[in-house]
Amino acid sequence: MEHFTIATVAEKSDDFRRVLWTGDHTQLVIMTIPPGGEIGEEVHEGIDQILTFVSGTGEARVSGRTKSVAAGDLVVVPAGKKHNFVNTGPNPLVLYTVYGPPEHADGAVHRTKEEADAAEESGEDEPPTS
C-alpha cells in the first residue's frame, strides 16, 4: 500500500512533473506549472486523465472549451481529447493527476517543461510495458 497526503506532497514539489506511483493500470503524477506557464496542448490516445488542483489559478482547455480552475477543482479528460492547462495567476498552479493506463516512465522527474518535452521527444518518458 502507498499512502500520500497528496496536497502536501504536491505543494512541496516545484518540479514541473514528478511521477509518484505507477501501477499496472493507473499512474499518479504531481505537476507544478509556473506563472505564465502551461502543460502544452496534447492528446492522449487510449488514456483517460483526471486532474485535481491543489493551489493556484488557471484555465482548463479541453475539446475547445475553456473553464477557470482553482484549488479543489477536478477536471476529467477522456482519452483522445485535445487539452491544455494554463497557469493564469501570479503563483504556481499545483495539481495531481491520475492517468489510466500509465502515461510516463515510472519514477520520472522533470524539473521543467523543457526537460519534460525533451524526454518525450527522445522516448525516455515512455510508460512501463506489461
> How much of the chain exceeds pLDDT 70, in percent?
98
Q: What CA–CA distance (Å, rounded) separates 36 from 45? A: 27
Within a domain: 84: yes
Within a domain: 1: no
CATH number of the domain that residue 83 is part of: 2.60.120.10
What is the rounded average pLDDT of the residues 21-28? 96
Q: Quote the domain boundaries for residue 58.
A: 6-122
pLDDT of residue 115: 93
Host H or E run for residue 12: helix 6-12
pLDDT digits (tens, 9 = 90+) for 46-70: 999 999 999 999 999 999 999 999 9
Which amino acid makes up residue 88? T
Total structural domains within the chain? 1
pLDDT of residue 49: 98
Binning pLDDT at 50, 70 and 90, where does residue 130 land?
A: low
Within a domain: 128: no
Whether pLDDT at 128 is above 80? no
What is the rounded average pLDDT of the residues 29-49? 97
pLDDT digits (tens, 9 = 90+) for 75-114: 999 999 999 999 999 999 999 999 999 999 999 999 999 9
Within a domain: 15: yes
pLDDT of residue 122: 87
- The overall average pLDDT reported for the chain is 94
Which residue in this structure is represented by grid cell 520520472? 108
Distance of CA 18 to CAs 68, 82, 97, Å?
24, 22, 10
What is the rounded average pLDDT of the residues 7-33? 94
